[in-house]
């Protein structure tokens, strides 16, 4: 599958699932690079130094949310995409198989 086909694939398709998995992984990675991990102390109502409380809460809770998605849903999406693609290939191969001679 070419990149532009993958990019335009429907949300509910193996490629669409992989696209969502990539999106959430990149978002989580970006938040980690932005230093949002240290802001998760907002869960204990303790705020990092040198940062406004609102920004810290937004980054911290955003990090927690994307972490849960990254750990729970991203592997689920990848696994679902793999299983679905394998199932589609299996059905295609079966349909393409010539009819057995009588």
Closest approach of other proteins to the CB of residue 27, in Å: 17
- Taking CB under 8 A as the criterion, the residue among 1, 30, 43, 55 binding other proteins is 43
Q: Distance between CA 61 and CA 94 in Å, rounded?
A: 48
- Which one of 23-31, 40-48, 93-101 is the stretch in contact with other proteins (CB under 8 A)? 40-48
Q: Using CB under 8 A, count the residues that bind other proteins.
A: 31
Helix (H) or strand (E) holding 28: helix 14-33
Decide if residue 37 touches other proteins (CB under 8 A).
yes
| Helix 14-33 with 53-68: angle, nearest 10 deg | 140
């Amino acid at each position: 599958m070419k990149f532009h086909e993958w990019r335009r694939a429907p949300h509910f398709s193996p490629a669409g699932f992989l696209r969502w998995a990539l999106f959430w992984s990149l978002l989580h990675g970006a938040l980690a690079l932005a230093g949002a991990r240290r802001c998760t102390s907002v869960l204990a109502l303790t705020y990092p130094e040198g940062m406004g409380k609102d920004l810290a809460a937004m980054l911290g809770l955003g990090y927690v949310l994307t972490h849960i998605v990254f750990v729970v849903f991203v592997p689920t999406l990848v696994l679902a995409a793999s299983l679905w693609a394998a199932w589609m290939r299996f059905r295609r191969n079966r349909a393409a198989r010539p009819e057995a001679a009588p």
